[in-house]
Structure 1
Amino acid sequence: MALDIYPAIDLKEGRAVRLFKGDMQSATIYGEALEFAKMFEDMGAKWLHIVDLDGAFAGIPQNLKCIEEILRTTHLQIQIGGGIRDEERIKLYVDMGVSRIILGSIATKNWEFVKTMARSYPVAVGIDARNGKVATQGWAKESDMYSGALAEKFVGSAVQAIICTDINRDGALSGINISFTQDIASRSGIYTIASGGFASSGELKILDENPYISGVIIGKAFYEGKINLKEAFALFEK
């Protein structure tokens, strides 16, 4: 089994929270982010997916101290997104030791910049869509671009991964949108990570058997006790 599992921490003021369909007012606070990072590592995680929610809305990173602590006290590889919109901030995270930088809002506005950055830094593209259209700035704004069209912009580029989120399912425990994920993967030809709505361990086999899907982000399903991550990591350990 080859599916990569990315446990998620959505950061708000140093704490792990989950939103419902991207609504900042719906944040459920679960606890200190550092403690969850340590827990994920103990369970067998190799990667950690972090979204700096404060940064996504502010347009600049907001939780650097917390991220530095996680990097210092665990051996996890971290991919991070939220408010990263220029080379200075990409370099800041890379110099801190972050393994993969997720560019979201800027990818919609300036995909040539993203492709250029991907040649020098470990870059992933975050494609977050609501009803097929890409949303930006912490999902607060909707663009006129469709997710599939954006995915096609990165064909043949050095982008390491595409992380695609169906916002209408995010935090809703309603199941991953397989067709949406598959469409982005087939159009881009890039390693694609599914996100938004993962509901239970039963989905892992379905995702693993899909040739287009390489990874999955698991957030609320863990925090709400819908999946035993230790068992999942053991099952998918390479």
Structure 2
Amino acid sequence: MILYPAIDLKDGQCVRLLRGEMDAATVFGDDPAAQAKSFVEAGCKWLHLVDLNGAFAGRPVNGAAVEAILAAVDVPVQLGGGIRDMATIEGWLTKGVSRVILGTVAVENPDLVREAAAAFPGHVAVGIDARNGRVATKGWAEETDVMVTDLARQFEDAGVAAIIYTDIDRDGAMQGPNVTATAALANAVQIPVIASGGVSSIDDLVALRDCGAALDGAISGRALYDGAIDLSEALRVVSA
């Protein structure tokens, strides 16, 4: 299982939100590239980036910060937030992003996900963010009637590299991930699933590792910045 440290970008800074609320942002640093470098130097093999402003704007906003991170590290990076057309997908992949994450468009324009996954095999992931089992879009600002598993199954044959599943009510709340829902999703589809939202302790990582489903990885943000999770111990646990 891979540990994906999260670098959430708002106004060029590293932040963490509480349950997706932009007004509840805690700033953890104003040098995202330095933060990315520190994660890599500690042994992380992937990075998870989110352009929070972009998720709301529907287009890339923190591009300069993302490019600075790409220039600073030599590990693969996955990026979500505001990626809603083929030009943006191709642009980020050309600049060195290893995997783009499509969230809102997976609901509103699933054909784009299929087209992108076919054009860029292994480089397109679907971000499924949910409250009470229902998918939310546009930076989590809008809730839909689409169920998580139903959306995931739509892309079973599309060649999607991964599904990143976030329980919004757990995100940034330091209350633990929704292990049951994450395992259920991973067991319902063949696509690799990455857990996100609420991963706040070593015990959470152990629970995900041993949940009865073969998860691809887990994303953690606030707990790494706060020191609630020791990064070296976390890397040892996920690789066990």
TM-score (normalizing by structure 1) = 0.95
Shift of 1:234: 3.9
Partner of 2:75: 76
Matched, 1:90 2:86: no
Matched, 1:101 2:103: no
Shift of 1:236: 3.9
- Aligned-partner residue type, residue 181 of structure 1: T
Q: Would the alpha carbon gap of residues 235 and 178 (structure 1) be closer, same or farther in structure 2, given more than 3 Å must change?
A: closer
Asked if 1 retains the 8 angstrom alpha-carbon contact of 2:164 and 2:195, the reply is yes
Shift of 1:156: 2.2
- Aligned-partner residue type, residue 134 of structure 2: K
Partner of 2:224: 222
Partner of 2:57: 58
Distance 2:109 2:21 in 1: 25
- Aligned-partner residue type, residue 215 of structure 1: G
Distance 1:228 1:143 in 2: 36
Partner of 2:210: 209
Distance 2:150 2:93 in 1: 29
Q: Would the alpha carbon gap of residues 236 and 213 (structure 1) be closer, same or farther in structure 2, given more than 3 Å must change?
A: closer
- Aligned-partner residue type, residue 127 of structure 1: I
**Range with greater deviation from structure 2 (93-102 or 67-76):** 67-76
- Aligned-partner residue type, residue 154 of structure 2: K
**Range with greater deviation from structure 2 (156-165 or 198-207):** 198-207
- Aligned-partner residue type, residue 231 of structure 1: E
Partner of 1:28: 26
Distance 1:103 1:185 in 2: 18
Asked if 2 retains the 8 angstrom alpha-carbon contact of 1:5 and 1:217, the reply is yes
Asked if 2 retains the 8 angstrom alpha-carbon contact of 1:43 and 1:233, the reply is no
Shift of 1:66: 1.1
Q: How many residues align?
A: 236
- Aligned-partner residue type, residue 73 of structure 2: T
SS in 2 for 1:117: helix
SS in 1 for 2:170: coil
SS in 1 for 2:119: coil
Distance 1:184 1:235 in 2: 22
Asked if 2 retains the 8 angstrom alpha-carbon contact of 1:50 and 1:79, the reply is yes
Once the two structures are superposed, residues 98-141 of structure 1 have per-residue CA deviations (whole angstroms, 9 ceiling, x without a partner) of 00000000001121220121011210000000111110000011
- TM-align CA RMSD: 1.3
Matched, 1:5 2:6: no
Distance 1:101 1:231 in 2: 28
Asked if 1 retains the 8 angstrom alpha-carbon contact of 2:86 and 2:112, the reply is no
Once the two structures are superposed, residues 39-87 of structure 1 have per-residue CA deviations (whole angstroms, 9 ceiling, x without a partner) of 1011101100001001001000011111111111211210000000000
Shift of 1:225: 1.1
TM-score (normalizing by structure 2) = 0.95
Shift of 1:237: 4.7
**Range with greater deviation from structure 2 (61-70 or 183-192):** 183-192
SS in 1 for 2:47: strand
Any stretches of 5+ residues in structure 2 without a counterpart? none
Partner of 2:177: 176
Any stretches of 5+ residues in structure 1 without a counterpart? none
Shift of 1:183: 2.3
Once the two structures are superposed, residues 175-228 of structure 1 have per-residue CA deviations (whole angstroms, 9 ceiling, x without a partner) of 110121122222221110000011201222221123232210010111111011
Shift of 1:235: 4.4
Matched, 1:200 2:201: yes
Shift of 1:165: 0.2
**Range with greater deviation from structure 2 (211-220 or 37-46):** 211-220
**Range with greater deviation from structure 2 (227-236 or 101-110):** 227-236
- Aligned-partner residue type, residue 193 of structure 1: I
Partner of 1:166: 167
Distance 1:187 1:111 in 2: 19
